[in-house]
Amino acid sequence: MHEVTMPKLSLTMETGKIVRWLKKEGDKVEKGEPILEIETEKVTVEVEAPASGILHKILAKEGEDVPIQKTIAIIREPGEEIPEEVAAPPVEAKKPEVVAVTEKPLERIKASPLAKRLAKEYGVDLTKIKGTGPGGRIVKEDVLRAVEEAKAAAVTVTPTPTPVTVEKAKVVPLTSMRKTIGRRMAQSLQTAPQLTITMEVDMSEAVKFREQITSVTEKKLNLRVTYTDIIVKAVAKALKEFPFINSRLEGDQLKLLEEVNVGVATAVEDGLVVPVVKNADKKSLIEVASEIRSLVEKARQGKLSIEDVSGGTFTVTNLGMYGVDVFTPIINPPESAILGVGRIVEKPVVINGQITIRPLTVLSLTFDHRVTDGAQAAVFLQRVKDLLEKPALLFIE
């Protein structure tokens, strides 16, 4: 008999959500074959069978949040008999002391059935509410009060001309991805004094450069090189030259990181993920481009591994395709800076006293003021601009 347990995929992971079982009870499974998908705060990953055999019993339902290391399924060898009590869901009973020490037993929340139903409807977390009913029971009024308070809090942040009544709102519970994005962005803004500087870049050469490369790569490699690819490559090169931007602040120490791992913010159906191109400075433009293509594809399918989204040292976020020119991206902690890319648009510019038309874009660099100052950040941004305006420089090591 082999137990399948909820894997611990990262240092901070405490629970994983069962997204989907890929196998049914009674199915034959091969060692290493994916048998279910789980979702952590960061990604959705497939869990492989730890051994070959028959999937005897599934102990955790789809949608359930399961603590790490907890048994979620049992695989038996063909012909092996498994006593019913072993396959019964609460496996904890078998290891009483260990559980008592390591896990705090979940306290039952005292709430009326009506309060529970309303909490579900309004997406209210009952563990965060104080009950005022007999014996501290959470009752309807407590849930409605929490909804009102949440509404009031929301209204102070974004005042709206007409009062919004919660009763008329459609309530959408946040996905774990949304909660993670919210938490990390709030953490970033609360801890890092950050500001954004912008710089206009003439993309004439980059446009030509891209056309030349793409005409070849499209035929030979079936690969279109995008402006994002070129910008990631340029940024990686600049980061190598400006290590204080490629850094992480830990307490009173600034760690200048050796690796240049550039994250590419990627919009997915229900949010945003940041897959990372590792060692982007050491890779060729074509390598960077094809890696980004495959990461984006994985992101859209929700198949990014923890590895794919870890270890970033800088992030590039491109809103150009949505017609955005300038914005103030928020640093993706624990990184020290992030580069926002605007749309490329033809504009009249004055060069040598002549008005000419040039494709321009605006780069928006947000940096952590604890790490560096405006002048140094501007020099870094100037370097990125330089590389984009003279793309041939990308080939000088």
Partner 1 sequence: MGKKTIAYIDAIREALREEMLRDPKVIVIGEDVGLGQGAFTVTKGLYQEFGKDRVIDTPISEESIIGACVGAAMAGLRPVAEIMFNPFMALVMDPLINHASCYKYVSGGQVKVPMVIRTLVCQGRGAGHDHAPFYASWFMHVPYIRVIVPSTPYDAKGLLKTAIRDDYPCIFYEHIDFYPRKPNLGEIPEEEYTIPLGKADIKKEGSDVTIVAILTGVKTSLSAAKKLEEDGINVEVVDPRTLAPLDKQTILDSVKKTGRLVIVETDFKTAGVGAEIAAIVAEEAMEYLDAPIKRVATADIPISFTNEKYILPNEEAIIKAVKDIC
CB closer to partner 1, 116 vs 255: 116
Does residue 358 interact with partner 1 by CB under 8 A? Answer: no
Which pair of structure tokens corresponds to residue 96?
Answer: 């009483």
Among 26, 78, 105, 134, binds partner 1 (CB under 8 A): 134
Residue 129 touches partner 1, criterion: CB under 8 A: no
Span from 97-105, 130-138, 221-229, 258-266 in contact with partner 1 (CB under 8 A): 130-138
Judging by beta carbons within 10 Å of its beta carbon (0-12, 13-18, 19+), is residue 78 exposed, middle or buried? exposed
Binding part of the chain for partner 1, among 115-123, 228-236, 307-315, 344-352 by CB under 8 A, reads 115-123
- The Cα–Cα gap between 103 and 111 comes to 23
Q: Which residues contact 38 (CB under 8 A, 6 or more apart)?
A: 6, 7, 16, 17, 18, 19, 44, 45, 47
Site string for partner 1, 177-216 (x = CB under 8 A): ----------------------------------------
Dist CA 167 CA 340 (whole Å): 38
Smallest distance from partner 1 to CB 71, Å: 31
> In the bound complex, what is the minimum distance in angstroms from residue 138's beta carbon to partner 1?
10
Under the binding rule (CB under 8 A), the answer on residue 113 touching partner 1 is yes
- Assess 390 for contact with partner 1 (CB under 8 A): no
- Cα 323 to chain centroid distance, Å, stands at 23
Please tell me the distance from the alpha carbon of residue 60 to that of residue 297, in angstroms, as a whole number: 29
Q: Do residues 339 and 362 make contact, with C-beta atoms less than 8 angstroms apart?
A: no
**85 CA to centre of own chain:** 40
Q: Report the candidate in 236, 249, 315 with the shortest Cα–Cα distance to residue 276.
A: 315
Q: Which stretch binds partner 1 (CB under 8 A): 1-9, 137-145, 192-200, 376-384?
A: 137-145
Interface with partner 1 by CB under 8 A: which range of 101-109, 114-122, 200-208, 296-304?
Answer: 114-122
Applying CB under 8 A, which of residues 70, 110, 116, 278 lies at the interface with partner 1? 116
For residue 251, how far is the Cα from the chain centroid? 24
Is 56 tagged catalytic?
A: no
Q: Is 133 in the site for partner 1 (CB under 8 A)?
A: yes
If one asks whether residue 334 binds partner 1 (CB under 8 A), the answer comes out as no
How many residues sit in the footprint of partner 1 (CB under 8 A)?
11
- Say if residues 33 and 12 touch (Cβ distance below 8 Å): no
Packed helices 204-221 and 374-389: angle between N→C axes, nearest 10 degrees: 60
Is residue 139 at the binding interface for partner 1, with CB under 8 A as the rule?
A: yes
Q: Which of 43, 91, 115, 381 binds partner 1 (CB under 8 A)?
A: 115
Q: Is 369 considered catalytic here?
A: yes
The residues carrying an active-site annotation are 369, 373
